[in-house]
Amino acid sequence: MRPTITAKINDNQFAALLSFAYNAGITRFRSSTLRKLVNQNPNNKAIGLEFMKWVNRGTPSEKGLTRRRTEEVNLYFTPIIGNVPTNK
């Protein structure tokens, strides 16, 4: 997963992306707009909207995926004191 992220991100951002990639699949993550936005600007607020696009609306899993994506977004945008990058 690390080689697919070229931007400097903190541990919370990495953990949120790892959770997403585990759930959606690494192949889907690699080709996602989410990954592209992170690599362009990891602080872009549109990243939160991209997480939420990965909810299967109208399915039995919608409620659970909405909860999961919301938690991933919240983690992604939770700052770390010092904002130490995970990949230098």
pLDDT in tens, 1-18: 789 999 999 999 999 999
Sorted by where each begins, the domain ranges of the chain are 8-76
**DSSP H helical ranges for the chain:** 11-24, 26-30, 33-40, 46-52, 62-76
pLDDT in tens, 50-83: 999 999 999 999 999 999 999 999 999 998 876 5
β-bridge partners, 18: none
User: Quick check: helix, strand or coil at residue 4?
Assistant: helix
Closest CA to 77 of 49, 45, 29: 45
Alpha-carbon dihedral 50, 24, 79, 71, rounded to 10 degrees: 90
Residue 55 CA neighbour count, 13 Å, CB half: 21
